[in-house]
Amino acid sequence: MKKFLTIFTLLLFLFSLAPQARAELTFKRSLWKGMSGQDVKALQESLRKIPGIYDGGSATGYFGVSTDAAVKRLQAREGVVSAMSEAAGYGMVGPKTLAKINEIVSRVSTATSSQITSKPAATSTPSAASSTPAASKKALPVRDTAPPIRSWGSPSNTLPAGAAEIKISLMTNESARCYWSNSPHTPFSEMATSFSTTGGLTHSFIVRNAAVGDYAFFVKCRDQYANANISDYPIIFSIERRYSGRDYDAPRVFMSSPTNGDSIAEGRVNLSAAAADNAGVAGVSFFLNTYDLNAEDTTPPFGIAVMLVPGSYSAFAVARDADGNRATSTPVAFTVTPKVEASAANLYQSSMASVFYAFAQFFELLFHQ
């Protein structure tokens, strides 16, 4: 009987040491703005665990404006949707967005648990005793050191003459303030003109009564941690002008993604370019490490997607108009890095293996006495 109680006590102790498997978030329906329920509350609780997504947000069970903004922020940052439109699922929590949330929450939880340190023993000196409870240590989130990622610059290509207003806009993957210059390679510290609407994820300003001609705005943004872009993000367009004879004006073209010096996780990488011409861009072709990818895009926004493995790359774009005039962008150099996989499952399996190994050792010790 004494031996049985000893074994039972050891089993309880060892199971208490084993990490518990983390329950993943599962829904029976897709969620979007205006919905409510316990599944919405569970979504909000998971979003709060992801740094920079729903900081300070409440788990009310109602999918309101703040939850909608958090979901869109995550989708834009993680590249979950192919386009920022309702048709592409932007703002809706479906299977793909749900899988990404579970992946990140698992990764964040694993990183947090690895930072837990043992609490020092209390001193036995009577004078050191205090009735004030000790404050619990919280693992600090990893500080953001990356500048904002810019995308969805607009307008592009050629606009008809006579527009009273033209809206210049782009999006960032995190809250930021964006500035522009008409000259490329202007340092961020020397950019004096900000977007009139900025500070969040969407940035815009209005150009009124634009004359016929070519326009270029080179954009840099800075986030709340003072991380500023070094490379330009081009927004270029032309107000249409046509000639009676052959058109000899070449298009203008700049790579907009990746930008020079970017570091991107392996897998799907979007190559995009901003291009404009006085009479319209007929197509944009993309080159990777000097090789033609043979995938001309004929409609703006101009871009293609490629699957890339880790390594160093160089890309440029070539734009053409209907009269055969061509222009080549300045190449951009970027790096593709290995994707970091979530290790929560591996950690759990390894820990359980250690526990069962301990079981075997204890049983062997008890039954061979």
Q: What is the pLDDT of residues 12-70, one digit of tens each?
A: 555 554 444 445 677 777 788 888 888 889 999 999 888 889 888 889 989 888 898 99
Asked if 73 and 57 touch (Cβ cutoff 8 Å), the reply is no
Q: What is the average pLDDT across 126-139?
A: 46
The more confident residue out of 240 and 122 is 240
Asked if 321 and 279 touch (Cβ cutoff 8 Å), the reply is yes
Q: What is the average pLDDT across 194-202?
A: 94
Structure tokens given for 170? 């782009």
Q: Would you state the pLDDT for residue 131?
A: 45
Percent of the chain with pLDDT over 90: 41
Q: What is the average pLDDT across 187-196?
A: 92
The whole-chain average pLDDT of the chain stands at 80
Confidence of residue 163 (pLDDT cuts 50, 70, 90): confident
Give the Cα separation of 369 and 357 in Å (integer): 19
**Cα distances (Å, whole numbers) of residue 146 to 32, 173, 176, 190, 269:** 29, 11, 12, 20, 18
The more confident residue out of 186 and 130 is 186
DSSP state of 131: S
Placement of tokens 């949707």 in the chain = 81
| 95-113 vs 38-48: helix crossing angle, rounded to 10 | 50
Q: Would you state the pLDDT for residue 216?
A: 94
Placement of tokens 């872009």 in the chain = 229
Neighbours of 103 (CB within 10 A): 15
Q: What is the average pLDDT across 334-359?
A: 60
Q: Would you state the pLDDT for residue 345?
A: 47
Q: Would you state the pLDDT for residue 124?
A: 43
Residues of CATH 2.60.40.10 domain(s) within the chain?
Answer: 146-241, 245-341
Q: Would you state the pLDDT for residue 132?
A: 46
> Does the pLDDT value for residue 126 go beyond 60?
no
Structure tokens given for 148? 């904002």
The more confident residue out of 139 and 129 is 139
At the top level of CATH, the class of 245-341 is: mainly beta
> Does the pLDDT value for residue 365 go beyond 50?
no
Asked if 145 and 225 touch (Cβ cutoff 8 Å), the reply is yes
Residues of CATH 1.10.101.10 domain(s) within the chain?
Answer: 30-113
Contact residues for 285 (Cβ-Cβ < 8 A; gap 6+): 292, 293, 294, 295, 296, 297, 317, 318, 320
Q: What is the average pLDDT across 182-205?
A: 93
Tens-digit pLDDT profile for residues 93-120: 888 898 888 888 887 776 655 554 444 4
Asked if 200 and 278 touch (Cβ cutoff 8 Å), the reply is no
For the domain made up of 30-113, give the CATH fold: Muramoyl-pentapeptide Carboxypeptidase; domain 1 (1.10.101)
Of 69-73, 75-79, 87-91, 125-129, the one with minimum mean pLDDT is 125-129
Angle at Cα 315 formed by Cα 80 and Cα 264, nearest 5°? 35
CATH number of 146-241: 2.60.40.10
Confidence of residue 233 (pLDDT cuts 50, 70, 90): very high
Backbone angles phi, psi at 35, to 5 degrees: -90, 165
Placement of tokens 């809706």 in the chain = 92
Asked if 59 and 41 touch (Cβ cutoff 8 Å), the reply is yes
The more confident residue out of 178 and 11 is 178
